[in-house]
Amino acid sequence: MPTPKPIPGSILNPMTFPNVNGGEITVGGPKDNWTLLVVYRGKHCPRCKKYLNILNDMRGDWAEAGFDVVVVSADSREKAQADVDEFGWGFDLAYGLTEDQMATLGVYVTEPLSPDEADGNFAEPGTFVMRADGSQIIVAISNGPAVRPELAELLDGMIFNKTKDRPHRGTV
């Protein structure tokens, strides 16, 4: 059954995820900053690691531009922590993305090929940018690991949209 896709400009209802550093991370709803939310496939995905390593190197640029960065997968705490330990990521890394949350975000969901790939169904990549009011200005979802927004281009475009107060697009 197809999942309804998010509508650009709509307010993302707040979602809370556990953080590997302890506590919880909430995305959606009003915030002081804009938010970049990256949904990744999980520990099993080497393309995700490459993408998230680039994001980690850019996290200061995103922060300087007034963006909070949150990354989440359906992985367990142990798998998410193993990635942090291996790669030294400094962004907020959440885990435990549920299938209901995947449906809310409109991401594609995949059944693992084997228990070695993942413990259960997992989300395919999604990149979302929300304004401080919680409205979604960017909704970029993929049904596979090879297609994701280029992060430097995305940041440049979001700085432009933010400073010029450009509207969300794609609602016709």
Helix (H) or strand (E) holding 32, with range, is none
Strand ordering across the sheet containing 92-94 = 92-94, 67-72, 34-39, 126-130, 136-141
Instruction: Calculate the alpha carbon distances from 101 to 41, 82, 106, 156 in Å.
Output: 14, 23, 8, 28
Max distance between CA atoms of the chain, in angstroms, equals: 47
> Residue 171's pLDDT is what?
79
pTM, 2 dp: 0.95
Per-residue pLDDT at 90: 95
**At 67, is the secondary structure helix, strand, or coil?**
strand
Report the distance separating Cα 28 and Cα 12, nearest Å: 5
Separation CA 73–CA 107 (nearest Å): 11
**Rounded distance, CA 85 to CA 170, Å?**
39
Question: Please, what is the Cα angle at 147 between 48 and 72, to 5 degrees?
Answer: 40
| pLDDT (0 to 100) of residue 5 | 81
Amino acid identity, residue 169?
Answer: R
Query: Could you list the pLDDT tens digit for every one of the 172 residues in the chain?
Result: 566 788 899 999 899 999 999 999 999 999 999 999 999 999 999 999 999 999 999 999 999 999 999 999 999 999 999 999 999 999 999 999 999 999 999 999 999 988 878 889 999 999 999 999 999 999 999 999 999 999 999 999 999 999 999 988 887 8
* Predicted local distance difference test score (pLDDT) of residue 2: 60
